[in-house]
């Protein structure tokens, strides 16, 4: 494979004359800083790998691409990076999955007689033929470069207009309106008698499940009953969540419950779950309490990326307290039960990632992605699939209405929006159970020719269910199944008003993506996505830490020019610089902020700028005085019963542990995981520079 390691400066874009990032920011040109980074990624030669691809890289085309990037950023602004380039990236992904017409609508000029754009042409030709199909000797490293160039700024946190907010709210409401309120399940030739109470509902609110879907639901009910049916949803240890609540309490204010929600109180009595003991009840007996029939959630829009905001539901304080306890029980049970252990994961997404990497070479598995996953799990689906005692418990802690930003109240058909503590485990269990049921129904239909009522009355086959379950993997809304089963799973789940993101379902070809791992032919091609927008200064802790990580990640992937450029600009943007080290992983574990440069010629610390590295004989190693990221904390002086209840929710029933905690540093301390500050500290490293 031929490669050109020497690059000439691009005409009109002299990389030797850098403008410090501070000057870019003062001029309001953060887009120029991003442009400099992207140009250096394009200029970095792809590292040679074992490949039969003989199409060479072109220095001339590289220079032309860099000039086009510079010109289009100058004319279109940051939109070229956040919207135009991602359109090309999505077309590349579609083409990798077999869509040869994917490049037809991309906003780039094409060469005569070729379906490929002229932009990035030499790299595209190493992956695709001139007709847009994937080459038999397609180069995975070139795929990685293409995706890095097109998706680098796709998820950048940039401002968006009110129209984006309105679109998110409208979609939220429309999806909810489309959901059913009841699934009418057939059993042994009859219909579900409970459906009679919904006979006056509009058409579409009640869904009749035929024999095949009824069998799928029956298997799903069996899976859920087997995994959590023996658990008592009342035997929970509630706790507070890290986020905001609809009732407005923040931090230390959450320890005081001032409202009784009647629907919640019938299942989870206030005096039992919101009080530490009877003495706590008596000491707070005179405190005023407000009683409401049911809790109402609140919709808030939080920044997400260049595409618009993310919609989050803030639950009432009491509901959130109980939901966190239910979450503990569900997650622990699903990760420990033999049927779901290793198949439904909440704490380890590497299971799906490793499978995606393997499947990109073997193609034995397909990766599926749900669309609007949390918003499409209806309450009717929960009633259909879950045991009665869990239905009652989830109904009690669920907010059946939410308040929109314009002040209007919407009654919800969905189980729970994103933001509810039980949203994630419940949706994952539903997806897994229905996927097992879909494959089971397909197999029974193939064996029997048709699904008669006699087949529905037959007993389920636990061994078959276990075998099917071992081939399905779920992490949130990311599913992995055998390639031959993906059609049945998608078809069946859509009949329960769930929906798949077709653009992210990888079934054909050698490209797979799941849980943050994008892979092609056994090689990871996940791009480094810059999320933190440089708004006004890199001196802010969040921006500074994020861009250090971006620089380190780029260096580890081989984009050395871009990594060094970012590190130099970061050093010029702060008064006190950050050290370079070859021991990046250990520095990360210790919380130190280093530029990771694992080769002898990497830049060293500058003693004139107050960096310090010394040998510590006690540790028999080296220490460095560096910046560390420390979570922001607040100290509360309210150490009464409410604080004791909070500590108990974190530590359990051990009185000695609680006693030591109240005598130590944990009581009254509230950490804000979303905020942190920079602090100088000594961090041990393996070698001295």
Backbone angles phi, psi at 162, to 5 degrees: -65, -25
pLDDT tops 90 at residue 573: no
Q: Which pLDDT band holds residue 470 (cuts at 50, 70, 90)?
A: very high
In whole angstroms, give the CA distance from residue 284 to residue 282.
5
- pLDDT tens, position by position, 381-411: 999 999 999 999 999 999 999 999 999 999 9
pLDDT for position 21? 42
Whether residue 217 is contained in a domain is answered as no
Cα separation, 90 vs 503, in Å, equals 8
**Rounded-to-integer distance, Cα 340 and Cα 317, Å:** 31
What does the DSSP 8-state code read for residue 82? I
For the chain, helix (H) and strand (E) counts, in that order, are 26, 19
Q: Which residues contact 383 (CB under 8 A, 6 or more apart)?
A: 182, 183, 391
Query: pLDDT confidence of 44, banded at 50, 70, 90?
Result: confident
Q: Which pLDDT score, from 0 to 100, does residue 384 have?
A: 94
Per the CB < 8 A criterion, the answer to whether 551 and 36 are in contact is no
486 and 581 both lie in a single domain: no
Cα–Cα distance measured from residue 129 to residue 522, given in angstroms and rounded to the nearest whole number: 21
Q: Which residues, 6+ apart, have CB-to-CB distance to 447 below 8 Å?
A: none
Q: Measured between alpha carbons, how far is 297 from 222 in angstroms, rounded to an integer?
A: 32
- Point out the least confidently predicted range of 46-50, 503-507, 526-530: 46-50
321-371 tens-digit pLDDT: 999 999 999 999 999 999 999 999 999 999 999 999 999 999 999 999 999
Indicate whether 636 belongs to any domain: yes
DSSP per position, 136-156: TT--HHHHHHHHHHHHTTTT-
Determine the structural domain holding residue 678 and report its residue range.
575-685
| Residues 598 and 493 grouped into a single domain | no
Claim to verify: residue 50 and residue 122 sit in the same structural domain = yes
Do residue 441 and residue 367 come from a single domain? yes
**In this structure, is residue 475 part of a structural domain?**
yes
Same domain, 401 and 264: yes
pLDDT over 50 (residue 608): no
Helix (H) or strand (E) holding 308: strand 308-314
| pLDDT reading at 616 higher than 70 | no
Query: Quick one: 511 and 598 in the same domain?
Result: no
pLDDT digits (tens, 9 = 90+) for 282-329: 888 888 889 999 999 999 988 777 778 889 989 999 999 999 999 999
Are 504 and 632 contained in the same domain?
Answer: no
Whether residues 480 and 583 share a domain: the answer is no
The more confident residue out of 410 and 609 is 410
145: in domain? yes
Beta-bridge partner residues of 10: 13
pLDDT at 611: 46
Q: Which DSSP letter does residue 339 get?
A: T
With 90 as the cut, is the pLDDT of residue 170 above it?
yes
Q: What is the pLDDT of residue 645?
A: 84
Rounded to an integer, the average pLDDT of 124-130 is 94
Query: With pLDDT > 70 as the criterion, what percentage of the chain qualifies?
Result: 79
Question: C-alpha 467: how far from its chain's center?
Answer: 29
Residue 200 falls inside a structural domain: no
User: How would you classify the pairing of strands 308-314 and 517-520?
Assistant: unpaired
Domain boundary among 103, 127, 156: 156
Residue 58, pLDDT score: 76
Asked whether residue 309 falls in the same domain as residue 422, the answer is yes
Tell me what the mean pLDDT of segment 219-223 comes to: 96
Q: How confident is the model at residue 595 (pLDDT cuts 50, 70, 90)?
A: confident
Q: Which of 33-37, 202-206, 559-563 has the lowest mean pLDDT?
A: 202-206
Higher pLDDT, 614 or 630: 630
Q: Answer yes or no: do 349 and 446 share one domain.
A: yes
Mean of per-residue pLDDT scores for the chain: 82
In terms of domains, do 499 and 582 share one? no
Report, in this order, helix, strand and coil percent for the chain, each rounded to 5: 45, 15, 40
Confidence of residue 163 (pLDDT cuts 50, 70, 90): confident
Q: Does 533 reside within a domain?
A: no
Q: How far apart are CA 489 and CA 220, in angstroms?
A: 12
Residue 689 confidence (pLDDT): 44
More confident residue, 44 or 214: 214
Q: Which of 64-73, 420-429, 487-496, 628-637 has the lowest mean pLDDT?
A: 628-637
Q: Which of 154-168, 513-527, 667-681 has the lowest mean pLDDT?
A: 667-681
Q: Of 479, 494, 520, which residue is a domain's last?
A: 520
55-78: string of b/e by CB count within 10 Å (b at 16+)? Answer: bebebebbbbbbebbbebbeeeeb
Q: Is residue 504 within 8 Å of 125, Cβ to Cβ?
A: no
- Separation CA 338–CA 469 (nearest Å): 10
Q: pLDDT value at position 355?
A: 96
Same domain for 586 and 510, yes or no, is no
Q: What is the pLDDT of residue 49?
A: 46
- Residue 366's pLDDT is 97
Q: Give the three-state DSSP class for 657.
A: helix
Residue 338 or 251, more confident: 338
Q: Are strands 517-520 and 523-524 parallel, antiparallel or unpaired?
A: antiparallel
Average pLDDT over every residue of 644-657: 72
DSSP 274: S
Number of domains comprising the chain = 3
Last residue of a domain, one of 487, 520, 553: 520
In a domain, 293, yes or no: yes
407 vs 298: CA distance, rounded Å? 9
Chain position carrying tokens 């779901």? 340
- Give 536 or 431, the one with higher predicted confidence: 431
Percentage of the chain beyond pLDDT 90 is 51
pLDDT-derived band at 593 (thresholds 50, 70, 90) equals: confident
Rounded to 10 degrees, what is the CA torsion of 573, 578, 584, 589? -100
* pTM for the model: 0.88
- 243 in a domain, yes or no? no
**Residue 156 near residue 303, CB atoms below 8 Å:** no
Residue 93 predicted with pLDDT over 80: yes
The span from the CA of 389 to the CA of 394, in Å, is: 9
H/E element, 185? strand 182-185
């Amino acid at each position: 494979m031929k490669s050109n390691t020497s690059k000439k400066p691009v005409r009109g874009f002299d990389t030797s004359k850098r403008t410090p990032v501070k000057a870019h920011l003062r001029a309001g040109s953060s887009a120029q800083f991003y442009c400099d980074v992207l140009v250096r990624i394009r200029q970095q030669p792809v590292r040679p790998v074992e490949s039969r691809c003989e199409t060479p890289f072109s220095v001339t085309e590289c220079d032309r691409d860099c000039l086009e990037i510079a010109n289009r950023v100058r004319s279109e602004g940051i939109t070229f990076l956040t919207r135009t380039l991602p359109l090309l990236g999505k077309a590349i992904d579609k083409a990798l999955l077999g869509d040869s017409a994917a490049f037809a609508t991309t906003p780039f000029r094409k060469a005569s007689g070729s379906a490929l754009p002229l932009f990035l042409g030499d790299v595209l030709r190493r992956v695709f033929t001139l007709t847009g199909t994937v080459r038999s000797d397609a180069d995975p490293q070139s795929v990685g470069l293409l995706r890095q160039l097109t998706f680098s700024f796709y998820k950048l946190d940039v401002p968006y207009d009110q129209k984006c907010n309105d679109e998110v709210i409208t979609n939220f409401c429309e999806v909810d309106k489309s959901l059913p309120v009841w699934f009418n399940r057939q059993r042994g030739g009859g219909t579900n008698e409970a459906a009679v109470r919904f006979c006056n509902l509009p058409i579409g609110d009640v869904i009749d499940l035929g024999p095949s879907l009824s069998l799928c639901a029956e298997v799903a009910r069996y899976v859920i009953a087997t995994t959590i049916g023996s658990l008592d949803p009342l035997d929970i240890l509630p706790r507070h969540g890290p986020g905001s609540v609809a009732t407005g309490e923040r931090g230390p204010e959450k320890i005081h419950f001032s409202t009784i929600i009647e629907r919640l109180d019938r299942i989870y009595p206030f005096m039992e779950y919101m009080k530490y003991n009877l003495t706590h009840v008596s000491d707070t007996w005179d405190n005023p309490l407000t009683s409401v029939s049911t809790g109402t959630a609140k919709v808030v829009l939080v920044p997400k990326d260049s595409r618009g905001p993310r919609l989050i539901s803030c639950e009432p304080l009491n509901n959130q307290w109980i939901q966190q306890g239910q979450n503990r029980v569900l997650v622990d049970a699903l990760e420990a039960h033999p049927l779901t252990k290793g198949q439904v994961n909440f704490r380890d997404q590497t299971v799906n990632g490793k499978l995606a990497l393997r499947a990109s070479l073997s193609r034995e598995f397909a990766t599926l992605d749900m669309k609007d996953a949390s918003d499409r799990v209806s309450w009717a689906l929960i009633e259909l699939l879950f045991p009665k005692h869990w239905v009652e418990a989830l109904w009690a802690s669920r907010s059946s209405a939410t308040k929109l930003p314009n002040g209007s109240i919407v009654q919800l058909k969905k189980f729970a929006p994103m933001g509810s503590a039980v949203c994630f485990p419940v949706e994952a269990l539903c997806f897994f159970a229905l996927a097992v049921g879909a494959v089971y129904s397909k197999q029974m239909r193939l064996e029997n020719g048709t699904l008669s009522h006699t087949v529905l009355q037959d007993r389920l086959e636990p061994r078959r269910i276990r075998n099917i379950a071992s081939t399905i993997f779920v992490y949130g809304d990311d599913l992995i199944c055998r390639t031959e089963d993906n059609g049945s799973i998608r078809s069946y789940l859509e009949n329960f008003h769930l929906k798949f993101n077709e653009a992210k379902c990888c079934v054909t070809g050698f490209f797979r993506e799941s849980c943050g791992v994008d892979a092609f032919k056994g090689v990871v091609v996940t791009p480094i996505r810059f999320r933190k927008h440089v708004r006004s200064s890199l001196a802010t802790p969040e921006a500074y830490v994020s861009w250090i990580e971006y620089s380190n990640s780029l260096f580890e992937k081989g984009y050395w020019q871009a990594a060094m450029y970012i590190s130099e600009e970061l050093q010029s943007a702060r008064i006190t610089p950050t050290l370079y080290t070859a021991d990046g992983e250990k520095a990360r574990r210790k919380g130190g902020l280093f530029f990771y440069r694992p080769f002898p010629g990497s830049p060293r610390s500058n003693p004139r700028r107050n960096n310090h590295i010394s040998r510590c004989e006690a540790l028999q190693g080296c220490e460095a005085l560096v910046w560390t990221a420390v979570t922001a904390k607040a100290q509360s002086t309210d150490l009464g019963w409410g604080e004791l209840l909070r500590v108990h929710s974190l530590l359990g029933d051990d009185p000695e542990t609680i006693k030591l905690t109240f005598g130590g540093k944990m009581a009254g301390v509230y950490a804000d995981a979303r905020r942190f500050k920079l602090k100088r500290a000594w961090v041990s490293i393996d070698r001295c520079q």
